[in-house]
Copies of this chain bind each other. A is one copy, B any other.
Amino acid sequence: MISKKTKYGLQALLALARAYGAGPVLIADLAEEERIPRKFQEAILLQLKNVGVLSSRKGKGGGYTLGKPPSEISIGQIVRILDGPLAPVECVSVTAYRPCTECRDENTCGIRLVMKDVRDAIADILDHTSLADMQQRSEDAARQQKSVVDFQI
């Protein structure tokens, strides 16, 4: 399970992606629009800013904007920042590998072999999906839903 922090973060990023190119967005507006506790939101955005995913401006007319285009921000990257490694066990993590303390031989550990497949499957999806892709899928789903409703009318 991903944490609320990550979920809130993705929600905020999605909102910022929609506003991309239209100037900075205030924390307060973002929090209200996405129904996220304000101060918690603040901490999340700050963390994303400190690693360069977001940029911000203080003072009047300030706020947050994406640090790069939505198509260049991958979901995998965001989840790793806010939630830690994707791998289900550390001994198969690419970004945070640590040897297994219990098992005798990592190369032949059955648990490890299976969990490596899981890690690869997760990473394959999340690292090849960008904020822009996510937006696109959401819009596609909305269009399809609408067409069904139209048909019913």
Q: Residues of A with Cβ closer than 8 Å to B?
A: 1-2, 7-8, 10-11, 14, 34-36, 75, 84-85, 87-90, 101-103, 105, 107-111, 113-115, 117-118, 121-122, 124-126, 129, 133-135, 137-139, 141-142, 145
From B107, B114, B133, contact of A145 by CB (8 A): B107
Sort A-B residue pairs by CB-CB distance and give the 9 closest, nearest first: A110-B138, A110-B134, A121-B121, A108-B141, A108-B142, A113-B137, A2-B88, A35-B102, A10-B111
Contact A125 B135 (CB under 8 A): no
Given A108-B145, A114-B75, A118-B125, are A102 and B34 also a contact pair (CB < 8 Å)?
Answer: yes
Copies in the complex: 2
A1-B87, A7-B111, A35-B102 known; 19 other A-B pairs, CB under 8 Å?
A: A1-B85, A7-B102, A10-B111, A11-B111, A107-B145, A108-B145, A110-B134, A110-B135, A113-B134, A113-B137, A113-B138, A113-B141, A114-B126, A114-B129, A114-B137, A121-B122, A121-B124, A121-B125, A122-B122
Looking at the assembled complex, report how far the CB atom of A86 sits from the nearest CB atom of chain B, in whole angstroms.
9
Contact B14 A141 (CB under 8 A): no
From B87, B103, B108, B126, contact of A118 by CB (8 A): B126
